Amino acid sequence: MSRIGKQPIAIPSGVEVTIGKDMINVKGPKGALATPAHEKIVVAKDGDQLVLTRADESRIARAQHGLRRTLLSNCVLGVTKGFEKVLEVVGVGYKVQVQGKNVVLTVGFSHPVEFPLPAGVEAKAEGNKLTLTGIDKQAVGEVAAQIRRVRPPEPFKGKGIKYADETIRRKAGKSGAKK
């Protein structure tokens, strides 16, 4: 039995879950999300909880059990609390600004890099920190990864765009001239 899949998902007050044949819709105070259902996983509403069980013990059903529970749990969390990723811009002269639906990065190129934000993801810049928020965990994480790819942190000086909780393994630079 999947250790993750067998745990029930608590439905907080104000959250409405609609179980369809091929989609599960979750509506809450922050918005609405949908996750695809799988034919091998049975989703049942038990009071104020969602319980996921397998239709059979096939390899596919066992593989999907924990995945579908986590995807559904992320939907419930997203419409109640939301998700956030914090990026730090490290480097002399490096800065980040939010202009409307664009993030403008000045990270050592000859021109500032404009990154358009997709729908459902909000950005807020404070000094050298960029905070991305949204209800869809996958969308927030993907946008954060794409922004980080503009200038990934380098190991010698640590300059670049990094996650706030990320540690950069530093390398020693060149040693001086030997006699």
At residue 93, what is the residue type? G
The helices-and-strands tally (H runs, E runs) of the chain is: 2, 13
Rounded to whole angstroms, the Cα distance separating 66 from 13 reads 24
| Percentage of the chain lying above the pLDDT 90 cut | 90
pLDDT of residue 2: 73
Q: What is the pLDDT of residues 42-86, one digit of tens each?
A: 999 998 999 999 999 999 999 999 999 999 999 999 999 999 999
Count of positions (residues) in the chain: 179
Of 166, 163, 174, 170, the C-alpha closest to 85 is 163
pLDDT of residue 177: 63
Q: Which domains does the chain have, with CATH numbers?
A: 9-80 (3.90.930.12), 83-163 (3.90.930.12)
What are the CA-CA distances from residue 34 to residues 7, 22, 24, 26, 101 (Å)? Answer: 20, 10, 6, 6, 24
Rounded to whole angstroms, the Cα distance separating 54 from 79 reads 26
Q: What is the pLDDT along the chain (179 residues), one digit of tens a residue?
A: 678 989 999 999 999 999 998 999 999 999 999 999 999 999 999 989 999 999 999 999 999 999 999 999 999 999 999 999 999 999 999 999 999 999 999 999 999 999 999 999 999 999 999 999 999 999 999 999 999 999 999 999 999 999 999 999 999 888 766 65
pLDDT of residue 174: 84
